[in-house]
């Protein structure tokens, strides 16, 4: 096994190495192999600290490090939340890019060494099926060199690259800073120019997409033997997560199940009354929290006194960092502003609008249609 695989376990060749090593993950898990502990740490650190690297790297062998990756994927699948998968994938990607940067820096200092097992950019691009899509741009370096001309004998990396339009658009997101917007980029002949650090950001996204592929595993249930063997690790992770977030991700819009405070705010806005800033924050935080994007909220509130620009500004701010939205205020805070009146004594079952709505969905969700389906 190559040391490289332990550090970049999402590589196809690394996965192949696991397959051909003839290790059975079930057996590993049942025998409480150290790789399971490392997998546990891997997921925990990914979800809570945003890194897949170990806190104590010297404790693990390369094999344990490599095998922890497929076990971590099982654990993340069992957590069963798309936000967790997303966050886990982002953390794996961030760690991989940090390692790539270290490898590249070491490579620059140590050109002649042949016995190292480092990643270079070409190898990573190849792994991510981006070889043909990314070209170094040396037109601004030195004299006489033409744009797009590649000098493979040169070890030091180019500062700028051209990446094909399609991959650029698939790897960036409209939520990123305006400098990423296509309209603000140099685009020519189907390619977009990026700085080296920007390319790394794009590669990080490509790795995250690669890691997230196939997660959560189809057909894996908590009753499966491998899942029961991992139940301690799983409940530990879930306990830690529950201290962070109170409500599982919701992605369903059914106005008839909205809590009374939110329904009141909507009616008030629809009657043409301008909402107070706190009221509109509560409403937008709720609508964002149940999985609506700005466009949907604008459409949903089309009959209300809210102006679309304001909605977009507020909701983009609320959702600016994926997965860490600002939740709407609790029932108690809402009561202090006169928006919650503990209707039907609901404080006994839910202390905030999202939890209230989640309970309603759990009870009556089968009998209602997602507003987005109905208006598609």
Partner 1 sequence: MDDRTRRYLRGRFGDYYRRADVPLPPAANLREWGHIPWTAGSGTTMVRHQSQMDLGSLDDFLERTAPRHAYFSAARYRDPGASTMSDKGWTGADLVFDLDADHLPGVDPDAATYAEMLASCKEALFRLLSFLEEDFGFSEMEVVFSGGRGYHVHVRDPSVRSLDSAARGEIVDYVRGHGLDVDDVITTVSQAGTNQRVLKNDGGWGRRIHRALLELTADLQAADKSAAIDRLQSFDGIGSGRAETIYGAVTRNRAAIKAGNMEAGGPGIRLLVRTLAESVVDEQNAPIDEPVTTDVRRLIRLPGTLHGGSGLVVTSIDRDDLDAFEPLSDAIPNRFVGQEITIETAESRTVELNGDKTKIPQGVSTVPEYLGVFLMTRGEATKAPEPT
Select from 116-124, 173-181, 196-204, 284-292 the region that touches partner 1 (CB under 8 A): 173-181
Q: Which is nearer to partner 1, 140 or 222 (CB)?
A: 140
Minimum CB separation of residue 202 from partner 1 in Å reads 14
185 binds partner 1 (CB under 8 A): yes
Residue 328, Cβ density class (10 Å: 0-12 exposed, 13-18 middle, ≥19 buried): buried
| Of positions 182, 271, 302, 374, contacts partner 1 by CB under 8 A | 182
**Does the protein bind partner 1 through residue 183 (CB under 8 A)?**
yes
Cα dihedral 338, 260, 276, 273 sign: negative
Binding string to partner 1 for residues 28 to 67, with x set by CB under 8 A, is what? ----------------------------------------
We find the least distance from the C-beta atom of residue 165 to partner 1, in angstroms, to be 6
Taking the least distance from each CB to partner 1, the nearer of 100 and 128 is 128
Closest CA to 155 of 140, 128, 131, 136: 136
How many residues does the structure list for the chain? Answer: 376
Cite the DSSP H helix spans in the chain: 3-7, 12-20, 25-30, 34-49, 62-79, 82-109, 121-127, 165-171, 196-212, 225-229, 231-244, 260-270, 277-289, 294-300, 308-318, 331-336, 353-364, 371-374
Scanning 30-38, 183-191, 199-207, 208-216 for contacts with partner 1 by CB under 8 A, the matching segment is 183-191
Reply yes or no: is the peptide bond before residue 318 cis, omega within 30 of 0.
Answer: no
| Angstrom distance (rounded) from CA 84 to CA 95 | 17
Q: Residue 324 has which token pair?
A: 């860490």
Question: From the list 188, 217, 317, 337, which residue makes contact with partner 1 (rule: CB under 8 A)?
Answer: 188
Alpha carbon of 166 to those of 48, 190, 192, 195: distances in Å?
Answer: 33, 8, 10, 17
Give min distance, CB of 133 to partner 1, in A. Answer: 9
Encoded one letter per residue, x for contact with partner 1 by CB under 8 A and - for no contact, window 128-167 reads -----------xx------x----------------xxx-
Q: Which residues bind partner 1 (CB under 8 A)?
A: 139-140, 147, 164-166, 169-170, 172-174, 178-179, 181-193, 376
């Amino acid at each position: 096994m190559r040391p490289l695989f332990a550090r970049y376990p999402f590589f196809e060749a690394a996965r192949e190495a696991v397959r051909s090593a003839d290790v059975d993950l079930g057996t590993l898990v049942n025998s409480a192999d150290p790789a399971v502990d490392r997998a546990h740490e891997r997921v925990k650190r990914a979800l809570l600290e945003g890194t897949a690297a170990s806190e104590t790297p010297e404790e693990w062998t390369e094999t344990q490090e490599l095998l922890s990756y497929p076990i971590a994927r099982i654990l993340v699948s069992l957590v069963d939340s798309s936000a967790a998968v997303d966050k886990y994938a982002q953390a794996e990607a961030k760690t991989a890019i940090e390692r790539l940067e270290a490898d590249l820096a070491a490579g620059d200092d140590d050109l002649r060494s042949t016995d190292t097992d480092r990643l270079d950019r070409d190898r990573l691009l190849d792994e991510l099926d981006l070889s043909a899509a990314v070209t170094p741009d040396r037109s601004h370096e030195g004299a006489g060199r033409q744009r797009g001309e590649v000098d493979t004998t040169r070890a030091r990396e180019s500062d700028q690259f051209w990446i094909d339009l399609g991959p650029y658009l698939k790897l960036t997101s409209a939520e990123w800073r305006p400098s990423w917007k296509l309209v603000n980029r140099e685009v020519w002949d189907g390619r977009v120019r990026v700085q080296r650090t920007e390319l790394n950001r794009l590669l990080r996204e490509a790795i995250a997409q690669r890691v997230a592929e196939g997660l959560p595993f189809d057909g894996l249930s908590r009753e499966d033997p491998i899942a029961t063997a991992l139940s301690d690790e799983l409940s530990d992770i879930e306990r830690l997560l529950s201290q962070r977030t109170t409500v599982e991700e919701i992605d369903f819009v059914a106005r008839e199940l909205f809590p009374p405070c939110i329904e009141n705010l909507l009616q008030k806005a629809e009657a043409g009354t301008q909402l107070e800033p706190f009221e509109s924050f509560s409403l937008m935080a709720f609508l964002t929290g149940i999985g609506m994007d700005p466009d949907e909220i604008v459409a949903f509130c089309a009959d209300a006194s809210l102006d679309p620009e304001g909605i977009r500004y507020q909701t983009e701010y609320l959702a600016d960092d994926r997965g860490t939205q600002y939740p709407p205020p609790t029932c108690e805070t809402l009561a202090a502003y006169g928006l919650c009146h503990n209707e039907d004594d609901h404080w006994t079952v839910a202390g905030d609008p999202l939890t209230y709505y989640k309970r309603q969905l759990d009870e009556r969700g089968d009998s209602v249609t997602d507003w987005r389906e109905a208006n598609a």
